[in-house]
Amino acid sequence: MSAPFALTNATVLTCDGGGAELPGATVVVDAQGVIEQVGPAAEVVVPRGYRRIDATGRFVLPGLINAHAHLFSDGKPLPPILLKESVESLVAAFMHSPIGRVIAKRRTKANVRTQLHSGVTTLRSLGDVGYEVVEVREEIERGDYAGPRVLASGPLLAVPGGHGAPQIALTSDSPEGARKNTRKNLAKGVTAIKIAATGGVTDARAIGEAGRPQMTEADMTAICEEAHRAGVLVAAHAQSEEGITAALRAGVDTIEHGAAMNAEMIDLFKDNPRSLRGTSALIPTLQPALPLVKLAPEITGADEIVRANAELVFEEMLQGIRDALANDITIGMGTDSALTHVTHYNTWRELDYVVRYGGLTPQQALHAATRENARILGLDGITGSIEAGKHADIVVLGANPLDDFRAFTTPELVIARGTIVERPAVTRFHELDAALDSL
């Protein structure tokens, strides 16, 4: 339980997509971590005994929501030996060994903390080693330590030899097997399901493999039926027209990454009868591919195959964003954190990239990362905006992020469900950051 407090004389960013602000506002939060009042300082009465935090000159906005995260690594480049196909099975065996599970749990706790301290108050994991993120989520909910709200997927669901396998995936090659793996994840307490509908960039073994369809529509339909029966959303890693179309037909709720859209895809995004809520959304993730495309191979360590696939996928993703904007398709925000070059403290870079490369306005980008992501994930009744009755998921910044998203690099306060992180701090990787800054 948090102690009641009030942020006084703040400029509140509504994150409505249009850039509306509430200057000179006071936000009152009760002992349960729920927002009681929001309004002009002159009109809001702060109850006796509440801690007053003067936010004069500060910008107060909803905590960021990262709809596509991984937590098994920190984003630093991996040693090249670990990326070789010949050691793939050995790496997977270690990751799933008792000591590997201990390491995965420790990394998850550290990376969740980093996300929180950088302003992320809700995240959805989409591909875990095992069920370590479920365990961390339960510890946070129990109050063992402060953390963001976590939606945990457990291992993603893939075909044998497919994207994510064998390190972070359960595999099957039939609708019955896919259904069984979905039930296994649900029984372990997951609150999200992830499908690998197509090949990916980082584990591609040939040029053109990224985006190539892997899971059948029938298999994905079985997964969606099981997950939706439990009220759980399904996300699909999908990076091609064919793969995305099949995933949407199957009833997938969010398409991760994306590609250029055809007429059927556009229609299904806007009206998808097999999805949980009747529509589907796009979650682009520019952070993993952009460095592979823009930085020299000597810096990224990417071989010719990975770089070529990254170039193909990056251009497709950009076109997917343009098509979504042109057709009023819901766009959320995810970082693909833990992948090489995607740290847990650089969520702001995704906002920057979708503006500079994807064509969103800063207001649209911030809206996607707050209100829109809350709606996509079914959490808009409790988070995503600073309104009475919602949980106090709040970031306090010293500068307006709509002028420069780098304001998120030094948050003054981060508040998760009313619990205040007084001096948020993260461990930075300066060499990696310098390379990314060069973009």
Q: Is the pLDDT of residue 1 over 80?
A: no
Interatomic CA distance for residues 57 and 149, integer angstroms: 28
Confidence of residue 83 (pLDDT cuts 50, 70, 90): low
Residue 219's alpha-carbon distances to 154, 196, 398, in angstroms, are: 18, 11, 49
User: Mean pLDDT over residues 133-147, rounded?
Assistant: 97
What is the residue-averaged pLDDT of the chain?
96
Q: Which domains does the chain have, with CATH numbers?
A: 5-62+383-421 (2.30.40.10), 64-367 (3.20.20.140)
What is the distance, to the nearest Å, from the Cα of residue 256 to the centroid of all Cα atoms in its chain? 10
Q: Per-residue pLDDT for 318 more than 60?
A: yes
Question: pTM value?
Answer: 0.97
Hey, what are 346's tokens?
């650089």
Instruction: Kindly give the interhelix angle for 132-142 and 98-117, rounded to the nearest 10 degrees.
Output: 50
pLDDT per residue as tens digits for the range 93-105: 888 899 999 999 9
Q: Hunting for tokens 């990454």 — which residue is that?
A: 257
pLDDT tens per residue across span 287-303? 999 999 999 998 998 88
Largest CA distance in the chain: 67
- pLDDT for 82 equals 55
Q: How confident is the model at residue 156 (pLDDT cuts 50, 70, 90)?
A: very high
Least reliable range by pLDDT among 88-92, 280-284, 311-315, 405-409: 88-92
Strand order in the sheet with 254-257: 169-171, 156-158, 193-196, 234-238, 254-257, 281-283
For residue 89, what pLDDT band results from cuts at 50, 70 and 90?
Answer: confident
Q: How confident is the model at residue 90 (pLDDT cuts 50, 70, 90)?
A: confident
Predicted confidence band at 157 (pLDDT cuts at 50, 70, 90)? very high
In angstroms, the CA 256 to CA 238 distance is 6
For position 91, what pLDDT does the model report?
A: 79
Mean pLDDT of 261-279: 98
Residue 92, pLDDT score: 84
**Residue 16 to residues 9, 21, 179, 207, 358: CA-CA distances in angstroms?**
20, 9, 39, 41, 19
pLDDT tens by residue, 336-379: 999 999 999 999 999 999 999 999 999 999 999 999 999 999 99
